[in-house]
Amino acid sequence: VLTQVIGNNFSERVVTDAGLKAMSRGFDTPKVRVDGEIIDCEAVKLSEEHGTVSFAEGSDVRKKLKWGEKIEFIPGHCCTCVNQHDNIFVIKDGKLAAVWPVSTRGNYS
């Protein structure tokens, strides 16, 4: 799930614009990827609309995350994440490669 930093005025954490409505917690906390690398963070907390990523004091990764920086959440369980979206946007080499419709979205009955 592509998200961006919308709050970075804390030394040990950043706030993003993706929360539980963008992905379910499912079975595990999402991993965080910055510049193609899974980063070591202390915790990811999700509210309905926002995600908070916490880092160790003085983290080099935290220092480089500026307002508007794009980061990725890798959900702990993809099924419950995919079901919350109408389309999956496939990115390859930094460019949009395909759009896959989620045809069964919302079909609980």
Chain mean pLDDT for the chain: 87
Domain-embedded: residue 9: yes
pLDDT average, residue stretch 4-9: 94
CA distance 91 to 52: 24
Answer yes or no: pTM beyond 0.85.
no
Q: Is residue 76 part of a domain?
A: yes
Q: What is the CATH number of the domain that holds 94?
A: 2.40.37.20
Which is higher by pLDDT, 52 or 60?
A: 52
Q: Is residue 108 part of a domain?
A: no
Query: What number is the average pLDDT over the span 53-59?
Result: 87
| pLDDT tens digits, one per residue of 13-50 | 999 999 988 887 767 888 899 888 898 887 789 899 99
Is residue 106 included in any domain, yes or no? Answer: no
Residue numbers of the domain that contains 61: 2-101
How many domains does one find in the chain? 1
* CA dihedral angle for residue 18, residue 22, residue 37, residue 30, rounded to 10 degrees: 100
pLDDT of 64 reads 84
Q: Regarding predicted confidence, which is higher, 46 or 109?
A: 46
> Is residue 33 a part of any domain in this protein?
yes
Torsion of CA 22, 6, 53, 92, to 10 degrees: 60
